[in-house]
């Protein structure tokens, strides 16, 4: 079985990313408890999503690796790494949306 590298990633391992969207710095949270909840949610979602998708997101978002580094490590082309990362990000966003959306009562 393939080792999941995201299990060993802590919030301190996360690299800063600049999205230039005007949102405050995620490394300076107002509420440490809320930050911990988001970290636990992310780890839970990584565990239930496809391991290959979780691996791609971990390499890019948490470890700060470039597409070139990811393609070299995974043995795929740069364009394939880009496609796989995009797919993984969409899947992760869908899981977040499903998790945060209110439950429908029948």
DSSP per-residue string spanning 86-101: HHHHHHHHHHHHHHHS
Confidence check: pLDDT of 106 > 80: no
Give the model confidence (pLDDT) of 5-37 as tens digits.
555 555 555 555 555 555 555 555 567 888 888
Please tell me which residue, 16 or 64, carries the higher pLDDT value.
64
Domain boundaries, the chain: 51-100
Least confident interval from 17-21, 79-83, 91-95? 17-21
pLDDT at 11: 53
Determine the average pLDDT of the residues in 44-66.
92
- What lies within 8 Å, CB to CB, of 91 at 6+ separation is 49, 50, 53
Helical H runs in 3-50?
A: 32-48
Q: Which residue is it, tokens 């496609």?
A: 83
* Phi-psi sector, 3: left (phi>0), alpha (psi -120 to 50), beta: beta
């Amino acid at each position: 079985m393939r080792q999941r590298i995201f299990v060993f990633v802590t919030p301190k391992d996360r690299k800063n990313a600049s999205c230039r969207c005007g949102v405050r710095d995620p490394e300076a949270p107002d509420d440490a408890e809320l930050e911990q909840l988001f970290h636990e949610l992310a780890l839970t979602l990584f565990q239930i999503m496809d391991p290959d998708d979780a691996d791609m997101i971990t390499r890019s978002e948490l470890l700060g690796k470039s597409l070139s580094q990811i393609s070299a490590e995974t043995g795929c082309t740069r364009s394939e790494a880009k496609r796989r990362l995009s797919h993984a990000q969409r899947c992760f966003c869908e899981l977040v949306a499903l998790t945060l959306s209110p439950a429908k009562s029948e």
